[in-house]
Amino acid sequence: MTFSYEDFEVGSAVQLGAHTFSREEIVGFAQRYDPQPFHLSEQAGEASHFGGLIASGWNTCSAMMGILVRDMLSDSTSMGSPGLDNIRWLKPVRVDDTVRLTVRVLDKRVSASKPDRGIVSTRWEAHNQKGELVLTVDSAALFGLRNPAALR
């Protein structure tokens, strides 16, 4: 497995992949999950304070989750997550924006009740092609220990 609990170092950052948002994806996601006008058409977006069509924040979160799974979690000891906190949509994501994900390790601890796993606290940081921070998410994730007996 590529990532186990032991592989995460507090203070480290891992730059993962990127995703480019197409008009078709933005509108399709919005039609299905977040049908606010500024996500559905250029005209409604232009009439809004955004000044154009933008991706739903949930679309951005979903795309970043896909990157996280493909680039980090698919070959790991991940046991899921008890939840996300502090989701912040800082700048709109627009058609043809390419957003790259960085994951920073904020904290980690071995579970007191289940010592075969640990909780890794991270912050997702998503930047567009201009280097602008567009999304942050604080996350906790459970990872199995490679060698639980070694940390006792």
Q: Report pLDDT digits (tens) over 102-116.
A: 999 999 999 999 999
Its pTM stands at 0.93
Task: Find out whether 112 and 74 touch, Cβ atoms under 8 Å.
Answer: no
Q: How far apart are CA 66 and CA 19, in angstroms?
A: 9
> What average pLDDT does the chain have?
95
pLDDT at 151: 61
Residue type, 11: G
User: Which domains, and CATH codes, for the chain?
Assistant: 5-151 (3.10.129.10)
